[in-house]
Chain A
Amino acid sequence: MRREAALSAAVIAVIFTAPGRLPAVAQGAAAPSAGVAPIAPALLAVKVVEENGVPGVPQALTEKPGDPQAGAKVAVDRRLGNCLGCHQISALGNEQFHGEVGPSLDGAATRWTVPQLRMIVVDPKKIFSDETVMPSFYRVGGPGRVRPEFQGKPILTAQQVEDLVAFLAAQK
């Protein structure tokens, strides 16, 4: 039940500006002992647009369109999305060990629009609640005590997010 998107859509936040130096306090962790603030990688600006009360990210994070097959790999890889750690995904039925912590992602594209799917991957707290256990995959800052090698970095790159979104958009 989407009304004229252009009218109801309100830009509610630009959560990342890029590229730049991230203040160490944003990590909530103790400042690195060497006294050098970590340099944030080129995090792209993510523009959150609310549509009928549901936030979404309508703009793709990369110019190169997402590749659903690459997205499937990101969903499986334990060092990347590890989505399968928590979700069941029938399209990845040849993989073992589908987690039970989150709901099945079968038919996700029938429940969410592409901007909403992108929002869920980028920062699910914006869609569900701050209480969700699902990690924010393209957000920097927030939690404390981030291990030094991950400080100032999102879990996934912009391209990996787009690949995942393409994969999710195919789950009908």
Chain B
Amino acid sequence: MSAPTLPLDATATAIEAHSGFAIVFEDVRLAFEENEVLRGISFRLPYGETKALFGVAGSGKSTILKLALGLLKPDAGRIIVLGRDVAQMREEELFALRGKIGMVFQESALFDSLTVSENVAYRLMEEHGIGYEEIDLRVREALRFVELEHTVDMLPSELSGGMRRRVAIARAIITQPELLLYDSPTGGLDPVTSNTIIELLVKQRDVYKTSALLVTHRLQDAFTMATHQFDKQTKQLRALPRGQYCDVPMSFLMLRDGKVIFDGDVRQLAHTKDEYIREYIS
């Protein structure tokens, strides 16, 4: 089902009104046959901020990421990503926009017939006009960022689950996109590997100031991100004192039955009176 076409001037006005935001969802609805997954989702992601999406399985978190990327079209509502109304764009137009967005899929989705370096270099190779030397340099830089420089010639099947996620992160960040979408990057991983990945996400947020949407089931990951900053001197995460939590560009969005039931920062989340949310975060 295609999204309803809006008048051009109305779309232009809406885009202008949300110019300070990387992502804007306005009353977005989506159903798969009889199953209504999203029932009027609205939220905004300011530039430079990371927003963690929570909710039970099947609440539509991954669907939101796919909508933001234009992989799915909403039945109703408006989705503005990096100043473009993705619901109104054709697939050919979306390919250009996706060049500014990096996505880390739930199961990594690495191309299994390509080596690690070919996977990471994929976007650069597709852009054409970039020399092999520069591609190699940037691939090694991206792999160094995720501490996997030694895996360049390996195939995805030779890597562990955590390593595959890190390669997927390297593939997503190689072009330094303006927006990153993470779909459960720590799902199914051991705590040590999860911490490594969260550290990479914080590093990306604090060093490159990239806007991001993060889908996760692990509350502790999002809380770590909300209470820590990346220290450029020590190159490690640094826990912030309680009073400085608001300095971190991090917010939380909780979904229930296809609707947003919470949208705020870590302090608001900690002091919420909603019984469902309290039970969820306890």
**Does A associate with B in a complex?**
no
- A residues with CB within 8 A of B: none
